[in-house]
């Protein structure tokens, strides 16, 4: 009887083997987005050492005083063979529906202007050549009538230039 069981098992394997060998190959794919920014080593370099660029920056709410606080503690590193200037492409603001909060953007405690014509020098030629770390801050301006409840958001572009 044991021989019969072995023979039947072998026959079953022979019958199943062709079905398994013709099984469809299942394929899954994933998409991976990769990017890199390789700077011109001899050109203008701007970086955030802790990688906060492009990430939401949350202004702290002071519950006791019922005001938005200034965001501090961020650093921007710059380097270039020539002096570096900075300006905003437009006024910095954040909004919640129709309610708007104006923002003062600061580098080394100097307000960055919202026009190229008024750009400020953030590193002279010597500072730029050796590299300079700039303290970055965002200070909200309390609207007339105080802050209105809401979820505020906004985006601004800071432009750095160096004549190399």
CATH number where 68 lies: 2.60.40.2040
Q: How many domains in the chain?
A: 1
Distances (CA, A) of 95 to 13, 103, 109, 147, 154: 70, 11, 24, 11, 6
Query: What confidence tens digit (pLDDT) does each residue in 93-151 have?
Result: 999 999 999 999 999 999 999 999 999 999 999 999 999 999 999 999 999 999 999 99
Instruction: Tell whether the model's pLDDT for residue 11 goes beyond 70.
Output: no
3-class DSSP state of 129: helix
C-alpha gyration radius of the chain: 30
Q: So what's the pLDDT on residue 42?
A: 81
What's the domain range around 108?
45-162
Q: What is the pLDDT of residue 161?
A: 96
The reply to whether 59 falls in a domain is yes
Instruction: Give CA–CA dist 82/163, Å, rounded.
Output: 6
pLDDT at 9 over 70: no
**Per-residue confidence (pLDDT) for residue 94, from 0 to 100:** 95
- The pLDDT of residue 159 is above 90: yes
Strands 158-162 and 84-88, sheet pairing = antiparallel
Q: In this structure, are residues 81 and 42 in contact, taking their beta carbons and an 8 Å threshold?
A: yes
Tell the residue number behind the tokens 């039947």, with chain if given: 8
Judge whether 34 lies within some domain.
Answer: no
Nearest to 136 by CA among 88, 82, 99, 64: 88
Look at residue 98 and tell me if it is in a domain.
yes
Under DSSP, the state recorded for 1 is -
Q: Is the pLDDT of residue 4 over 60?
A: yes
Q: Per the domain annotation, does 14 fall within a domain?
A: no
The per-residue pLDDT for 33 is 83
Domain assignment present for 94: yes
Q: What pLDDT score was predicted for residue 40?
A: 72
Taken in order 128, 133, 134, 138, the sign of the CA dihedral is positive
Residue 21 included in any domain: no
* pTM score: 0.74
How many residues comprise the chain? Answer: 164
CA torsion angle for 36, 55, 46, 100 (degrees, to 10)? 140
Q: What is the pLDDT of residues 16-74, one digit of tens each?
A: 665 555 678 888 888 888 877 776 778 899 999 988 998 899 999 999 999 999 999 99
């Amino acid at each position: 009887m044991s021989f019969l069981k072995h023979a039947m098992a072998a026959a079953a394997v022979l019958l199943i083997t062709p079905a398994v060998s013709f099984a469809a190959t299942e394929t899954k794919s994933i998409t991976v987005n990769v990017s890199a920014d390789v700077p011109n080593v001899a050109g203008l370099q701007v970086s955030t050492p802790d990688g906060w660029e492009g990430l939401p920056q949350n202004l702290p709410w002071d519950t006791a005083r019922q005001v938005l606080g200034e965001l501090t503690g961020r650093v921007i590193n710059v380097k270039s063979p020539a002096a570096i200037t900075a300006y905003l492409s437009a006024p910095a603001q954040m909004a919640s529906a129709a309610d708007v909060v104006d923002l003062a953007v600061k580098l080394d405690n100097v307000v960055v202007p919202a026009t190229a014509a008024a750009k400020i020098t953030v590193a002279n030629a010597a500072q730029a050549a050796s590299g300079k770390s700039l303290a970055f801050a965002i200070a909200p301006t309390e609207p007339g009538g105080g802050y209105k409840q809401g979820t505020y958001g906004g985006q601004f572009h800071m432009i750095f230039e160096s004549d190399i």
